[in-house]
Structures are given as structure tokens and as C-alpha cells.
């Protein structure tokens, strides 16, 4: 595919990608598609007739969120993506003729959370992560008996999910200091991040309905990078018996561009072998993972940057299809815009651990930074950047980045 737009060879936003997001134009949230260093304004392109051949209500592009567009259904998302791919390769297209009205500079654009997220679930689906964390608390019995039978998860707080670039204030909370017999209240001393990805529901279900693993991906609109900021000391004191609560819900960050399942299809790969065998409702054909490279950078206040983790989405023990089938196995409904996150994505090697908790082995080992300083957990004014991208046979499909900076507590 030869496009008339200049795109850097290593751009995440190639002609093979075309992810959807919400950018700000004239003070309004506007649906757009990223291409190279530009954004296609879908509302402007639609008004000029670029999508006339596709039958859907064009008023969806007047909304300041993507939910109405997503509700038009998979054939519309795929059809629109195809029209854009063709138009980007055709100098006679409406897009080319009116490019000065339709294209906007991506690098200076302000981005917003692209969907109204009704419900958010966080899974715990990396066996390396679950084993590492389990080992710190239960050296002889790291994985709990349910772990290989159930994609373990919990319901999180959707309204504190923020767009990449939003600062996060260090949370205060109740913790039990080491060797103390009474808890204290104050700023978290064990501020952490979690390298995750999340998928966004594109097709709803009614209460009482179940979704099979085979049909699960039809319900997914696309994926983003997700950073599940975690205050480990608050989490440790509060999590028994009902799981994560205030150690997690003070803020989570997502990347602005939703990469569609169509764009990810060439990067599908084999699932991890599951032993023991899972129950029939969780069985898949075995190719439900995706080869997505992941990197985490930690940048100090002075601007020194160290890559602290290199991982891959393909390490996930439980696939998105299994997570979604399990989520609906009891008849729990799905709504457009719901977000389901993977859980921390760790690999086998130490440099592929997706949290500082694991990289510093519970705060016992220093993580060396390029400027000669060390970390066990995140310091005030440190920034964390997660990047994600697929690459195969000269095709690159990336997610851009998800950035967040930890500000001091009040």
C-alpha cells in the first residue's frame, strides 16, 4: 500500500494501523483516526462525503466520545477502515482533495479518554506475574488452587481512568508499617505501576446472556495500553478478604488510540499451553494471543530515562477470548465502552517483569537507573512511559505510548 501521506518508517501509526481516538478541535472532543503524525478528523471527512458509500448514521461523529460510532457495529468499523486505507492511497479521494480541512497535526493535539467507560474489570492473567507475587507472600505455594482454572479478576473503578499525560498524585492511605502492631495514615511509600493492556467492548450483551470463546473477539472493538498504578503498602494491608480497593482506584492511565482487532489480526499467535486442561466453556482453538512488544521507561525529574522492562503480550496465560467468556459465564452483561485489562504482563526473565514490585523483588533489590541512582518503588516526580507495538514483515502497528507522572502527596 502506497499512501500519499509522509509517514516515518518506524511510525506506530502506519497505513496498516488506523486506530481510533478522540482529539480536541475548536474546544470539542472529535472522533479521529491517527495516520503518521496526523489525525483524520472523521466528522470533517464525513461532512465532505468521504463515507457516503457506507450505510450508517453519520451523526455518530458529532459525539464527543466513540461509543455511538462503536455501536454502529463491526461491519461499519471495518468498512470505514477500508475506505480510509483506500483514500489514503488515492490522490483522487475526497480525503486528498480536502486534506487541509480534514487533517490535523497529531503531535500537538490534545487527546481525551476515547470512550465513556461504564465498567472496568482488571484480570490477573500472567502466570509469571501471579507466580512472582505469590512467591513473595507464599514461597512454597505461589499459585492459589483456582488460578489455572479461572481467569481471576476484580471490578475496578472506571471513572478514575485518565488519559495518558495526566499527572497522578501519590495517594494517601492506611498502611501497616513493618514490625508495627497498629496501622498509620499517610502517603504511600510503595508507589508502583503495572504494565498492562486493556480491551474495549464493542458489542453489548443482555443480562443473562453468555458469550463463547469462539465468539468472544466479535465483542471486542480494540485495545489500548493500560497502566494500573498501585500503592503496594495500601494494597497489602487492605486486600484480605475482598481484594484490591483504595490501593488501586486513585487513578489508572490509558493510551489515547484504540488499535482495532482488524489491525492486530496479522500479529495473532499461538496461545500458551494450559495445563491442567481448562473447563469446556474456556477452551479455545489455541491461537488467541497477540505478539505485541511492550516496554517500560522510568524517567527521573531531571529527565534521565531508563528502560526498566521489556515484555510481550503473548506471554498471557489466559487470552482475551477466555477472559471475556469467563466474564459472561454467569450471565453478566457487556456494554459498549466497558474496559477489561489484562493484569500485569510479566515474562520469564527478570528484565521482563511488569511491575517495580517484581523488579525490586518486594523492595529488597535495587533497580539501577542510567544516571547511577536506584529505585525500589516510584519516587515523586518520576514519570513512567509504556510503549506497545507489533512488527512483522515490514508492517508496524503500534499503540503510541501511555505516560504518567507521580506528583507528591498533598
Q: Please identify every residue annotated as catalytic.
A: 129
Q: How far is the CB of 227 from Mn ion (least distance, A)?
A: 9
- Note whether 192 binds Mn ion by CB under 5 A: no
Q: Which of 45, 356 has the CB closer to Mn ion?
A: 356
Residue among 173, 194, 317, 183 at smallest CA distance from 247? 173
Q: How far is the CB of 317 from Mn ion (least distance, A)?
A: 15
Span from 16-24, 50-58, 112-120, 186-194 in contact with Mn ion (CB under 5 A): 186-194
Q: Cell numbers 450471565 label which residue?
A: 331
What part of residues 103-142 is at the interface with Mn ion (CB under 5 A)? 122
Q: Which of 153, 256 has the CB closer to Mn ion?
A: 153
CA dihedral (96, 97, 100, 104) positive or negative: negative
Phi, psi of 264 (to 5 degrees): -85, -15
Burial 117-150 (b: 16+ CB within 10 A, else e): bbbbbbbbbbbbbbbbbebeeeeeebeeeebbeb
- Note whether 228 binds Mn ion by CB under 5 A: yes
d(CA 70, CA 67): 5
Q: Which of 35, 193 has the CB closer to Mn ion?
A: 193
Among 194, 217, 358, 382, binds Mn ion (CB under 5 A): 194
Q: Which of 278, 357 has the CB closer to Mn ion?
A: 357
DSSP letter string over 113-170?
Answer: --S----EEEE---HHHHHHHHHHH-TT--S-TTTTTS--EEE--GGGEEETT--EEP
- Note whether 233 binds Mn ion by CB under 5 A: no
Q: How far is the CB of 195 from Mn ion (least distance, A)?
A: 9
Beta bridge mates, 396 = 391
Residue among 2, 9, 17, 6 at smallest CA distance from 105? 6
Q: How far is the CB of 230 from Mn ion (least distance, A)?
A: 7
Let me know: does 109 contact 135? Beta carbons within 8 Å.
no
Span from 82-90, 225-233, 260-268, 395-403 in contact with Mn ion (CB under 5 A): 225-233
d(CA 4, CA 90): 7
Sequence-ordered strand ranges (E) for 202-271 = 220-227, 230-231, 252-254, 259-260, 268-269
Q: How far is the CB of 56 from Mn ion (least distance, A)?
A: 35
Q: Which of 51, 318 has the CB closer to Mn ion?
A: 318
Q: How far is the CB of 253 from Mn ion (least distance, A)?
A: 12
Query: Taking CB under 5 A as the rule, which mask of x and - marks residues 260-279 in contact with Mn ion?
Result: --------------------
- Closest residue to Mn ion in the complex (CB): 228
Total residues binding Mn ion (CB under 5 A): 3
Let me know: does 284 contact 271? Beta carbons within 8 Å.
yes
- Grid coordinates belonging to 102: 480534514
Q: List contacts with Mn ion (CB under 5 A).
A: 122, 194, 228
Amino acid at each position: 500500500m502506497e499512501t500519499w501521506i509522509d509517514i516515518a518508517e518506524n511510525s506506530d501509526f502506519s497505513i496498516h494501523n488506523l486506530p481510533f481516538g478522540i482529539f480536541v478541535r475548536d474546544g470539542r472532543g472529535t472522533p479521529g483516526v491517527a495516520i503518521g503524525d496526523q489525525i483524520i478528523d472523521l466528522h470533517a471527512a464525513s461532512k465532505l462525503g468521504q463515507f457516503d458509500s457506507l450505510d450508517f448514521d453519520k451523526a455518530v461523529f458529532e459525539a464527543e466520545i466513540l461509543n455511538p460510532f462503536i455501536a454502529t457495529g463491526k461491519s461499519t468499523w471495518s468498512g470505514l477502515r477500508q475506505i480510509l486505507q483506500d483514500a489514503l492511497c488515492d490522490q483522487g479521494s475526497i480525503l486528498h482533495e480536502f486534506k487541509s480541512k480534514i487533517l490535523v497535526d497529531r503531535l500537538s493535539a490534545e487527546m481525551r479518554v476515547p470512550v465513556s467507560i461504564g465498567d472496568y474489570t482488571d484480570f490477573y492473567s500472567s502466570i509469571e506475574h501471579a507466580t512472582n507475587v505469590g512467591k513473595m507472600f507464599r514461597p512454597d505455594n505461589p499459585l492459589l488452587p483456582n488460578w489455572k482454572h479461572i481467569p481471576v479478576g476484580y471490578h475496578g473503578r472506571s471513572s478514575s481512568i485518565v488519559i495518558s499525560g495526566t499527572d497522578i498524585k501519590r495517594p494517601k492511605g492506611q498502611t501497616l508499617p513493618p514490625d508495627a502492631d497498629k496501622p498509620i495514615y499517610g502517603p504511600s511509600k510503595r508507589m508502583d505501576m503495572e504494565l498492562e493492556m486493556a480491551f474495549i467492548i464493542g458489542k453489548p450483551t443482555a443480562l443473562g446472556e453468555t458469550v463463547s470463546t469462539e465468539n468472544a473477539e466479535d465483542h471486542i472493538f480494540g485495545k489500548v495500553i493500560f497502566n494500573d498504578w498501585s500503592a503496594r503498602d495500601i494494597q497489602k494491608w487492605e486486600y484480605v478478604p475482598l481484594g484490591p480497593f483504595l490501593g488501586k482506584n486513585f487513578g489508572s492511565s490509558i493510551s489515547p488510540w484504540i488499535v482495532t482487532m482488524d489491525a492486530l489480526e496479522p500479529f495473532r499467535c499461538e496461545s500458551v499451553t494450559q495445563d491442567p486442561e481448562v473447563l469446556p466453556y474456556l477452551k479455545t482453538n489455541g491461537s488467541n494471543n497477540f505478539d505485541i512488544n511492550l516496554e517500560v521507561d522510568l524517567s527521573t525529574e531531571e529527565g534521565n530515562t531508563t528502560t526498566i522492562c521489556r515484555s510481550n503480550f503473548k506471554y498471557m496465560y489466559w487470552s482475551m477470548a477466555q477472559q471475556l467468556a469467563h466474564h459472561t459465564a454467569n450471565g453478566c452483561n457487556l456494554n459498549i465502552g466497558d474496559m477489561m485489562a489484562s493484569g500485569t504482563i510479566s515474562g520469564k526473565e527478570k528484565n521482563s517483569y511488569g511491575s517495580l514490585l517484581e523488579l525490586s523483588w518486594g523492595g529488597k533489590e535495587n533497580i539501577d537507573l542510567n544516571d547511577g541512582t536506584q529505585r525500589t518503588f516510584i519516587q515523586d516526580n518520576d514519570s513512567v512511559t509504556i510503549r506497545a507495538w507489533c512488527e512483522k514483515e515490514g508492517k508496524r502497528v503500534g499503540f503510541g505510548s501511555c505516560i504518567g507522572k507521580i506528583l507528591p502527596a498533598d
